Structure 1
Amino acid sequence: MPADTLPYPAHWEADVVLRDGGVVHLRPIRPDDAPAVEEFHAGQSAESIYLRFFAPLARLSDRELQRFTNVDHRDRVGLVATLDDAIVGIGRYDRIEGSTAEVAFNISDAHQGRGVGSVLLEHLAAAARERGIGKFVADVLPQNRKMIAVFSDAGYQVSHRYEDGVIALSFDISPTEDSDQVREAREHRAEARSVQTLLNPTSVAVVGASRDPDAIGHRLLQNLIEGGFTGPLYAVNPEAWEVQGVESHTRVTDIPGQVDLAVVAVPAESVGDVVADCGTAGVRGLVVVSSGFAETGEDGAARQVSLVRTAHRRGMRVVGPNSFGIVNTDPAVRLNASLAPALPPNGRLGLFSQSGALGIAVLDTARRRGLGVSSFLSSGNRADVSGNDAMQYWLDDPATDAVGLYLESMGNPRKFSRVARRLSRSKPVIVLKSGQSSFGVPPGHTVRESLLPRDAVDQILHQAGVIRVENIHQLFDVAQLVVHQPLPTGPRVAVVTNSAALGALAADACASWGLDVVHGPVAVASEASADEFRQALTAAFAAPDVDSVVAGFIPPLVTIDADVAVALAEVAAAGDKTCVATFLGMHGVTEALSSSSRTVPAYPTPEDSVRALVSATRYAQWRSRDRGQRVAPKDLQRERARELVERLTPTDPDGVWLEPSDAAELLAAYGVEVWPSFPVTTAAEAAAAAERAGYPVALKATAPLLRHRADLGAVRLDILSEGELRHDFDEMLRLLERHGPGEFVVQAMAPVGVACVLRSVEDPLFGPVVEFGVGGPPTELLGDVARRSPPLREGDVVDLVRGIRAAPLLFGYRGAEPVDVDALEDLVGRVSVLADDLQQVAELELNPVVAAPEGVSVLSARVRLAPPPVRTDADTRRIPG
């Protein structure tokens, strides 16, 4: 390896889902790729060769192969896309001057149209940015429309110039909001397509199908047969000619027809060979029910890694291992490739569960409540397909109106937040999350440890618009409401019952959860007829100031429950308002409450019905709000900040706290001005500093235990003269000497306002997180802190500032003048962009930030830089592998 060649950049390797749902592996090119490159070139058409090299080139010379495959990974970089170890695409750049490089691509004729070119461009641009390149140029023949489209459709601002029969293209490769949106849209389409392939197979093979009724393979095949799968079924069992009337084969490659989906239930040590055989047979997706992988220890973990790598290398995606299976109730498919004994009823709810055991409980609960399911996935160890993939699919699935997810862990919460937010804009997403980071994570799930408090996940889920619930019971309480009823248009509620006690309980529950009871509670007589109950309900639904109706009914001896239920269903269907019902002894969706065009969900207690209604109301309020544009402050000096950070970031993983001047310079690049402070150790130095700052001044101790501790005498404010300053200095020095050396700072007095604290942290699991609170006890003692994960939209910034309990202090509490909230929100936005841009900023704290009626003042800033972690949601598409 030449001296100027950088080490092989293994972190550039990635498994990526293509436009058609298949998978390719991307990696840097290697010298030993020469035979594969030669084979790739020999397989190309004369037209493709001419478009790439501008000349007929029947074969590559040894010199050309040497140049193409020997790169320095800095000024000359090459990436290859491989499928089953064969090269299907090549992308490369060569630095031509400074920060500009020439880029070129060559895609296999057999794989054009799958999106290989756009994936290579995306990853090549990321590699180039890492090497200090900011601009790509390319020469393209006018007839090469596909390659021109690869550049122009990537979201970059591409300039064109026609010269000597060639189109010269050039574009800045810095990420933009447009390029991010293009990447995320392509990721969405690809991952949705891959899940669609799994859930809509035209044929299924059960590998490990057994004649033993107690064997898992027997149950899987039986469930597929009894579920009425509409396509061909195949059994794979080398020791049987047939299983349950289905012809058996020795291996998948022996099956005469195409197999879309293979359901694998063989011992763990045999799964690798099965996966390789499936790849040879052209299987498109795998559901691995077999256990014995990462949940069993190191050997199993290694087996799991090998399983996923083999599947991806052959272009397949994997559900599992240790999965409960997948279900699609579409009458055109009727897929029950799971251990559930019966296919759930067809409906509008998509369900995802990581746990196999709880997968049984989830499907059984849906069945008992009469709540129809559109599709179901159990990810097991979540080695590949995850809840993020499922949400990508449900976003476009016309058969799904709402989504429920049971999550035992979150491997990529940053991507989860991004995908869930997009899905929540159109469909309710209900999440049951157990534990956080390594706490409560089941064996087999690889999760980084989060440094954030446990309530951080709640706030980040709220930012994404998901409905957080505490148990399966609540998940289905909310699901049966949002699937069958319109979303509430506001918090105003009517309560109608046939019991004053029941009405009072419902009204109290509404009040305790922030709903406004504006009609009732109305209680008809316990012996009232169904018609009388109908009249009371009709009046409630007709009230113009009512958004939702809570109905309650205790069955007396003289009134038939079904008559009242039918009346309620008919009245609710005639209007456009949300309705929930409490029928003691009834739970779920009943025939009587489904007798009209719109089903009314029933709950056993008023508290259950109101809790579900509150969840739906808060979600509807989130969904109806305009979140605004992505925060984009003006006058940022990003390049200056990056250069500073790269120069000052240490190799020590613990990082280093910047000198105040360096911290101020970094913040200034993002438009944040830190008020100067002057370190002093003597009264004379303090007096000189005060002359520079200008009276009045503040004198503050800087020892870690004394920062901001006015209660300990470590802060003196509004010092008006040198005599007063010298007196205060001597007094503080004497008072605080037991805490260590007398180190202080002098600073000009800021305007009167509310002291706030603004922080950002780079969390190993969540990535950048911005925190906001009011200074002093609310933040330090009571933990009154709001958190959001960048990138933020304007609405997120508004929520962050108003999301603390002490927020009234900012808006004129008890007659005080309101602070300049616009300036405060601008500051929050700038910090969020800095945190999102610079992974090396491990911690940033602005404390105090004085928010005054006019403007904000940042009086102190601390910044810790550390080697950047690899964020779970990178700026290039990739899946676990």
Structure 2
Amino acid sequence: MVADGLYPEYWEADVVLRDGSTGHLRPISPLDADAVQAFHMRQSQNSIYLRFFTYKASLSARELKRFTEVDHAGRVAFVVTRGQDIIGIGRYDRLDDPDEAEVAFNVSDAYQGRGLGSILLEHLAVAARENGIRRFTAEVLPENRKMITVFAEAGYEVDRRFDDGVVELTFNIDPTDKSRAVMEAREHRAEARSMQTLLAPSSVAVIGASRSWGSVGYSLLEHIVDGGFTGPVAGVNPEAFELNGMVAYGSIAEIPHPVDLAVIAVPYNQVLAVAGECGRAGVKGLLVATAGFADDDGEGLARQRALVHSARSYGMRVVGPASLGIINTDPAVRLNASMAPELPERGGLGLFSQSAAIGVMLHAAASRRAIGLSSALSAGNRADVSGNDAMQYWEDDPNTRAVALYLESIGNPRKFSRIARRLSRMKPVIVAKSDVMGLQLPPGHAVRTTQAPSGALDAMLRQSGVIRVETTEQLMDVAQIVVGQPVPGGTGVAVFSNSLALGKVLADAALAQELNVVRLNAHLDLDAGQSVALSALKTAFTEALADPEVHSLILTLIPVVGLSFEAILPVLQECGAAAAKPVVACFTGVLDPAAQLEGLRAARGTYSRRGDEPGDGDASVPCFASPGAAVSALGAVVRYSRWREREHGVFAQLDSVDEEGAAALLGSVLSDVRDVGLRRLDSGQLHELLDCYGINVLPSIPFDSADEAVEAADSLGWPVALKTVEENLRHRLDFGGVRLNIPDASGLRAGIEAMRAELRPFGSPGLEVQPMAPPGQACVIRAIEDPLLGPVVSFGMAGDAVNLLDDWAHGIPPLTTLDAADLLRTPRASRRLFGYQGLPPVDVPAIEDLLLRVALLKDRHPEIALLRFNPVLVSASGLAVLSAEISVGNPQQRTDSARRAMRD
């Protein structure tokens, strides 16, 4: 909850409007009085009437004071600005019922229809919930259809009542599945539209274009022109009259036609001024090729932030700085605003990279393997446009069949997970990432670093359905399969070879990749001449692919005299296409250094690098020089196929959940906390909080004397367990930290005396008694709030092995029912839960339900910095949480909250 009068700076956000442009949203302040008056006086009479139910030529001083002086708790107002002008205002005022507030909007006539009302409503709802408000009401004139539509399409259940000529709307503002889906859909459309302006601009200007051959400005302008860009191109250089055969302009303002994309290649100390000129000229997006924004002294990062702030204030998106460029091979666009010397081959792969060096590697690898691109974007320092934005665009792009991203840092993993999970259900998403991503940042990347346990980020990627690889080569291995072939429908594979040894090696490798070798033909006789061999291969391939148990085919050959590999490709491709199943070729043992054995090889004709049809379409076969690489790539694609075809579960509606009660409790605990330290909940607070989510912890009572222990045991019920309160010893029978099944008072007194003697070397920690739980398997559940990933839930089997062997499973809330099931089954030791070595299976639904409750608790309450249940004892019919610990703190604003906001 925001303290009265304290300006909540963290509510500020840059937002993307429906048309793809940006605006800055922030809480109102008394300094906005003149701007609010100017906004009001720009409005039409009709807009003023619809807002105030009467006409006001201007606002009085009293009204301005009331509108701009708010407490940011019971009265909240947001403004959206473009440059220095306010373009939208939204506010709520708490009513007599403290759970209810009246909400109202006013959007500039010039910006109506761009989704500002919806954005303001989303942000006001988040602020209201933070301040304990659960319902909004609004009074709207019947003719104000635009405003009624904003509420009706927000995804909330809206009650309408007509009274005295006014429509009164009332709705609960707690997020629902429908409201979240509506927000995500609007966010997707807006961000995809903003990327459309960058990747498919109608016009381009190169600022800093030079006549000096080899310079960045010269190369960028030349590549755009030579690539055949279909729109007008302008060069800007105040010291040149002519550039690349075109008239040069002294500034962006002199260009007579509108400019969608400005490519900036000026010295870094001029970039900010040039960005401002572009904004004033109405440019829609910037591509900043200039480096120099990652200085060790921190000034470069400050310049970078100032650049993004300036650009967004004018509604512009920014690619870069230090970007290698952007490419779009669509014949209707043909944009090569990059350092690549020619427009790449057209194809189905959308390619995203960050630093220029990695971008060069990826472009070279794609070219070497003849993998055509639909579009490519190098984000450079990733100051604004990110991989999340690119995925939003590629989701709707009909020219993109698969997406590949090389990520050196990630700024909003929860949003990445959400977008990637949705995109992966339609198109393969391949992600190459560094193993230290989130621990160390590339120069110029201003994102959070992670404190999450090792493996949490990988778990997030798996949960999202992406194909995770480690290197550029592995990325291209997978890419050439998913863009050149259909996705396999199962794990069954047919293996063909003309070498028994090679065939068996390949079959073993396939089994290691969890593929099912349905057919193995390692006795191909190809020595009877090319025509006979090709006919035999076609018959064998057709028969194998007709088998419903075969879902893909791998051919691996050593050289055959008189039979060229090029002659085999059309046969292989034709058979695969006829069966609509993927085929992969591996040609090994070739000594000719000029032989092209890797990549998408044309099965018919040759590639056309400037043609209108993608080069990696139906007439291409993914070829490999290494059998291991071929099988590994196919295995990754098959695992993706299994993920895509499986049920993904649902977000369960859990009973016995009181989110409001939990929020009130946490608010009271943190009401006087202003620092970044953590506060551990006492026993009463802990039980009250967990009760709000239907989680029960077996009670325990600490004591000082033996008499107190016996009294506690009488109240809890015999038999009891005697434990130390020392966290690292309380479950250790081997160190004397726990004694079980104590039946009576004499046994308890004797146990206390013996335990205190055994624990004396450990500092004589305190003791407690607890009722005995039914015997079962001991598990551990923990959850943290990570600066990078947000909430992370981890599960493992109790004992030293979980930490010594890192036998943890991790998940990123929100979790579906299937996510929880996967989380439970991922640790290697979790086999003990399912009847291992004659032990009875445990109550699996009970532990899955507990995991879902913990995930929901963490997802809804970022104030919970640390949660630990150790152990959770799971029996054949239920479970018991024997020990729980929760620490809370001031939450840093979590990325991907329930409001649309762009992150630096």
Q: Is TM (by shorter chain) over 0.5?
A: yes
Provide the rounded CA distance (Å) in 2 between the counterparts of 1:608 and 1:114. Answer: 48
Q: TM-score, normalised by structure 2?
A: 0.95
What is the deviation of 1:230? Answer: 0.6
Greater mean deviation of Cα atoms: 563-572 or 502-511: 563-572
* Residues 287-311 of structure 1 deviation map (CA, whole Å, 9 limit, x = unaligned): 0000111355411111111111110
Q: Secondary structure at the match of 1:736?
A: helix
Which letter does structure 2 place at the counterpart of 1:389? Answer: D
Q: Secondary structure at the match of 1:294?
A: coil
Match of 1:17 in 2: 16
Would you say the 8 A contact 1:660–1:861 is kept in 2? no
Match of 1:610 in 2: 631
Provide the rounded CA distance (Å) in 1 between the counterparts of 2:426 and 2:233. Answer: 36
Greater mean deviation of Cα atoms: 450-459 or 651-660: 651-660
1:637 and 2:658 are equivalent in the alignment: yes
CA 1:348–1:722: 2 relative to 1, 3 Å: same
Match of 1:32 in 2: 31
Match of 1:681 in 2: 704
Match of 1:444 in 2: 444
Greater mean deviation of Cα atoms: 60-69 or 100-109: 60-69
Q: Secondary structure at the match of 1:101?
A: strand
* Residues 836-879 of structure 1 deviation map (CA, whole Å, 9 limit, x = unaligned): 11111111111111111111111111111111111122221111
Match of 2:288 in 1: 288
Q: Secondary structure at the match of 2:450?
A: coil
* Residues 20-40 of structure 1 deviation map (CA, whole Å, 9 limit, x = unaligned): 001111122222322222222
Which letter does structure 2 place at the counterpart of 1:628? Answer: G
Q: TM-score, normalised by structure 1?
A: 0.97
Would you say the 8 A contact 1:409–1:436 is kept in 2? no
Match of 1:358 in 2: 358
What is the deviation of 1:742? Answer: 4.4
Match of 1:735 in 2: 758
* Residues 555-601 of structure 1 deviation map (CA, whole Å, 9 limit, x = unaligned): 12232222222221222122122221111251111123789945321
In the TM superposition, 1:154-303 aligns within 5 A as 154-303=154-303
Which letter does structure 2 place at the counterpart of 1:422? Answer: R
Match of 1:587 in 2: 598
Match of 2:309 in 1: 309
Q: Unaligned stretches of 5+ in structure 2?
A: 591-596, 607-616
Match of 1:750 in 2: 773
Provide the rounded CA distance (Å) in 1 between the counterparts of 2:31 and 2:740. Answer: 70
Match of 1:626 in 2: 647
In the TM superposition, 1:794-805 aligns within 5 A as 794-805=817-828
Provide the rounded CA distance (Å) in 2 between the counterparts of 1:731 and 1:224. Answer: 83
* Residues 764-789 of structure 1 deviation map (CA, whole Å, 9 limit, x = unaligned): 11000111111113313211111110
Q: 2:842 aligns with which of 816, 819, 822?
A: 819
Would you say the 8 A contact 1:323–1:378 is kept in 2? yes
Report how many residues are paired. 878
Q: 1:537 aligns with which of 525, 536, 541?
A: 541
* Residues 419-462 of structure 1 deviation map (CA, whole Å, 9 limit, x = unaligned): 11111111110001114455342110012221123322111100
Match of 2:612 in 1: none
Would you say the 8 A contact 1:850–1:858 is kept in 2? yes
Match of 1:105 in 2: 105
Greater mean deviation of Cα atoms: 478-487 or 572-581: 572-581
Q: Identity over the aligned pairs, expressed in percent?
A: 51
Provide the rounded CA distance (Å) in 2 between the counterparts of 1:435 and 1:290. Answer: 28
* Residues 49-71 of structure 1 deviation map (CA, whole Å, 9 limit, x = unaligned): 11111112222223222322222
Q: Secondary structure at the match of 2:837?
A: helix
Provide the rounded CA distance (Å) in 2 between the counterparts of 1:366 and 1:438. Answer: 27
Match of 1:62 in 2: 61
Match of 1:50 in 2: 49
Q: Secondary structure at the match of 2:169?
A: strand
Greater mean deviation of Cα atoms: 611-620 or 581-590: 581-590
Provide the rounded CA distance (Å) in 2 between the counterparts of 1:662 and 1:28. Answer: 33
What is the deviation of 1:121? Answer: 1.2
* Residues 245-277 of structure 1 deviation map (CA, whole Å, 9 limit, x = unaligned): 121101100101111100000001101111111
Q: Secondary structure at the match of 1:64?
A: helix
Which letter does structure 2 place at the counterpart of 1:580? Answer: V
Q: 1:558 aligns with which of 550, 558, 562?
A: 562
Q: Secondary structure at the match of 1:878?
A: coil
Q: Secondary structure at the match of 1:15?
A: strand
Q: Secondary structure at the match of 2:273?
A: helix
Q: Secondary structure at the match of 1:149?
A: helix
Q: Secondary structure at the match of 1:671?
A: coil
* Residues 354-381 of structure 1 deviation map (CA, whole Å, 9 limit, x = unaligned): 0111211211211121111000000011
CA 1:250–1:557: 2 relative to 1, 3 Å: same
Greater mean deviation of Cα atoms: 5-14 or 323-332: 5-14
Greater mean deviation of Cα atoms: 608-617 or 648-657: 648-657
Would you say the 8 A contact 2:452–2:792 is kept in 1? no
Would you say the 8 A contact 1:594–1:600 is kept in 2? no
CA 1:705–1:629: 2 relative to 1, 3 Å: closer
Which letter does structure 1 place at the counterpart of 2:580? Answer: D
Would you say the 8 A contact 1:27–1:81 is kept in 2? yes
CA 1:5–1:786: 2 relative to 1, 3 Å: closer
Q: Secondary structure at the match of 1:212?
A: coil
What is the deviation of 1:692? Answer: 2.2
Q: Secondary structure at the match of 1:523?
A: coil
In the TM superposition, 1:494-505 aligns within 5 A as 494-505=494-505
Match of 1:137 in 2: 137
Greater mean deviation of Cα atoms: 740-749 or 219-228: 740-749
Q: 2:577 aligns with which of 569, 573, 577?
A: 573
Match of 2:486 in 1: 486
Would you say the 8 A contact 1:572–1:600 is kept in 2? no
Would you say the 8 A contact 2:455–2:810 is kept in 1? no
Q: CA RMSD in A?
A: 1.6
Provide the rounded CA distance (Å) in 2 between the counterparts of 1:405 and 1:816. Answer: 45
Match of 2:413 in 1: 413
Q: Unaligned stretches of 5+ in structure 1?
A: none
CA 1:307–1:191: 2 relative to 1, 3 Å: same
Match of 2:862 in 1: 839
Match of 1:856 in 2: 879
What is the deviation of 1:74? Answer: 2.5
Would you say the 8 A contact 2:657–2:693 is kept in 1? yes
What is the deviation of 1:717? Answer: 1.7
Provide the rounded CA distance (Å) in 2 between the counterparts of 1:493 and 1:232. Answer: 51
Which letter does structure 2 place at the counterpart of 1:838? Answer: H
Provide the rounded CA distance (Å) in 1 between the counterparts of 2:265 and 2:119. Answer: 34
Greater mean deviation of Cα atoms: 780-789 or 123-132: 123-132
Provide the rounded CA distance (Å) in 1 between the counterparts of 2:667 and 2:436. Answer: 32
Greater mean deviation of Cα atoms: 296-305 or 379-388: 296-305
Would you say the 8 A contact 2:438–2:788 is kept in 1? no
Greater mean deviation of Cα atoms: 464-473 or 445-454: 445-454
* Residues 777-821 of structure 1 deviation map (CA, whole Å, 9 limit, x = unaligned): 331321111111001111111111111112221111122221111
Greater mean deviation of Cα atoms: 126-135 or 381-390: 126-135
What is the deviation of 1:383? Answer: 0.6
Provide the rounded CA distance (Å) in 2 between the counterparts of 1:619 and 1:9. Answer: 43
Would you say the 8 A contact 2:320–2:378 is kept in 1? yes
Provide the rounded CA distance (Å) in 2 between the counterparts of 1:437 and 1:614. Answer: 25
Provide the rounded CA distance (Å) in 1 between the counterparts of 2:757 and 2:899. Answer: 58
Would you say the 8 A contact 1:753–1:851 is kept in 2? yes
Which letter does structure 1 place at the counterpart of 2:660? Answer: E
Greater mean deviation of Cα atoms: 139-148 or 127-136: 127-136
Match of 1:786 in 2: 809
Provide the rounded CA distance (Å) in 2 between the counterparts of 1:5 and 1:524. Answer: 81
